[in-house]
Chain A
Amino acid sequence: MIDKFLERSTYFLFTVPAIILYTLFFAYAVIVGIQYSLTDWNGISSSYNYVGFSNYTELWNNPNFRQSLLVTGKYAVMLVAGVMSLSLILALSLNSLKKFQTFTKSIYFLPAIISAVTISLIWDQVFVRVIPPIGQGLNIMELYQSPLAHPKYALIAVVIVNIWQAVALPTLIFIAGLQSVPSELYEAGRIDGASTFNRFRYITFPFLIPTITVNMVLAIKSGITSFDYAYALTGGGPVKSTNVIGIMIYNDAFQNLKFAMANAESVILFIIIAGLSFIQIRLTRKGGVH
């Protein structure tokens, strides 16, 4: 009798511990956070008032916020493009290596082990001590100073540093995805005389669509919520050219006594990410191999 009950509710029981933990430690915090965004709390005072959506309307009219959104958007696009293309190429390359595969994989994996702050610090030194001599030697005016000093190039430089580290894990995910392609199909393709490129296009790619979706969603989220690299490398400068929303939220919450506003900014971020990801998941639902 009990067995039958257990059997029928196995799936349900599987979900119970997760739901408890998730709701208690996450969902509740999100609701409280959203609640704060509807107040005027500055983060310190013992009282606050509910102000409805006025934080949101204020943000709508704030040119700093709009500029920040633009910077974040650019950052995300560059990050996603860079990470997706590089990790795919790397996964294919590493997967097809016969010799030294493990060793090379380990090297490529090293950036993932280091924290963002360390990486930022090192690259900051590289940018400020290595680039100027090279720039002066090759007579490229843009490189006379550290790229982080130029309002035009700082963002690209920060994204490059982010990509340096961010490529490792999606590569791993892609490799896992590549493993799911049955090898017989490749054999068949080879016998049929398909070129390497066509083999990739008609055999590998369809199997990769789920992993591409996954990597893209994670990359988009990472790009839009980015904070660590921009903050450590430039603090949002020069002249706000790298002032991603993550930094704006951080400053508003901990420095400018605008905690509720910071939460409103985060909520808007959330809506953007959710919207983009859902569109993307919908689009790729049609593809894939089932």
Chain B
Amino acid sequence: MNLAIRKEGLGWRILRNIILLIGVIIIMGPLYLVIVNSFKTLEEAGKGFFSFPKALHFSNYAELLSKGNYWRVVWNTTLITTGSVIIVLMINPTVAYAIARNRHKKYYKFLYLYILLGLFVPFQVIMLPLTKIMTNMNLLNPFGLILLYGALSLTRGVFLLVNYIEGMPTEIEEAARIDGCSTFKIYYLITLRLIMPMLVTLVIMDSLWFWNDFMLPLLILNKAKEFWTLPLYQYNFKTEYSFNYTMAFTSYLMAMLPIIVVYAAGQKYIIAGLTEGAIKG
């Protein structure tokens, strides 16, 4: 019996490894191009897009980092991403929890539908009206953008979290309630811990969205260069008739670096968060 199980495991494992390997090549291929071309001048890249650089030109990097604006832009993006994530964490789980535990009550049914419908709204519908609202409220700045991201995060966040919470067993909560715990305490001590995997996933998804978003910063922050975020800065290398792609690639890599650093440093916590739910017992 043991042998039979082992054999099957092996077949699956080989297949799996092949799949993963092919995937890695498909992913690293384009990335190789980004890295390699960031070390060339535009002239050299034009002559040989795929070749390894003849000499490692750090000039692109030097130029990028020395332009005073760049650090300001990184700071803006970090600020906006962090601020928005904090709001996301404050409002998404709370609303999702309230909805999930009260599905039978009319108010919460309506609320879920209200938020869920927002999920299907294409961005183009709200693009100009939103800009107008923000202009009128004098919120064409990072603070306004943070509030906006918080509001917009609700559709996906609530959708994901409500589904996840509903799939959770309620025994622990019920036990705590019998023990006399208040709803708030239950939410804070128990629920938050149990939904960690989805919460971490949500934070990752949202922070990537805020970090890489182009459209909203373009519409909300275009008044002053001091407000710019990284995507705006990167897109500036592409004008209507020219694309300074070597510089652009350099800036893409530099934009990825903070994320990679954060991920590497916080890996332990991220993994712990993602797997915490499994250790329920």
B142 CB-CB contact with A under 8 Å:
no
B65: interface (CB < 8 Å): no
Chain B min CB distance to A30 (Å): 6
A213 at the interface (CB under 8 A from B): yes
Q: How far is the CB of A49 from chain B (nearest CB, A)?
A: 18
Partner of A110, one of B31, B125, B151, B231: B31
Q: Mark B106-146, 1 if CB is under 8 A from A, else 0.
A: 01100100110111111111111110110000000000000
**Which of these, B13, B23, B24, B128, contacts A259 with CB under 8 Å?**
B128
B91 interface hit (Cβ, 8 Å): yes
A90–B26 alpha-carbon span in the complex (Å):
14
Q: How far is the CA of A217 from the CA of B155 in the complex (A)?
A: 12
| Smallest CB separation, B246 vs chain A (Å) | 12
A111 within 8 A of B: yes
Given contacts A173-B201, A221-B120, contact A210 B163 (CB under 8 A): yes
A82 to chain B, nearest CB (A): 13
Select one of B9, B151, B277 contacting A180, CB under 8 A.
B277
Please tell me if B274 contacts chain A, counting CB pairs below 8 Å.
yes
Closest chain B residue to A273, Cβ basis: B120
Quick check: B118 and A115 within 8 Å, CB to CB? no
Known: A11-B102, A102-B271, A104-B20. A29 touches B126 (CB 8 A): yes
Number of interface residues of A (CB under 8 A): 95
Additional 8 contacts, C-beta under 8 A, given A26-B152, A121-B245, A172-B204? A10-B184, A21-B151, A118-B252, A180-B277, A221-B120, A250-B124, A270-B125, A290-B167
A contact residues vs B (CB 8 Å cutoff):
6-7, 10-12, 14-15, 17-19, 21-22, 24-30, 32-34, 36, 43, 89-90, 92-94, 96-97, 102, 104, 106-115, 117-119, 121-123, 125-126, 129-130, 164, 169, 172-173, 175-176, 179-180, 182-183, 190, 193, 195-196, 207, 210-211, 213-214, 217-218, 221, 224-225, 246, 249-250, 253, 259, 262-263, 265-267, 269-270, 273-274, 277, 288-290
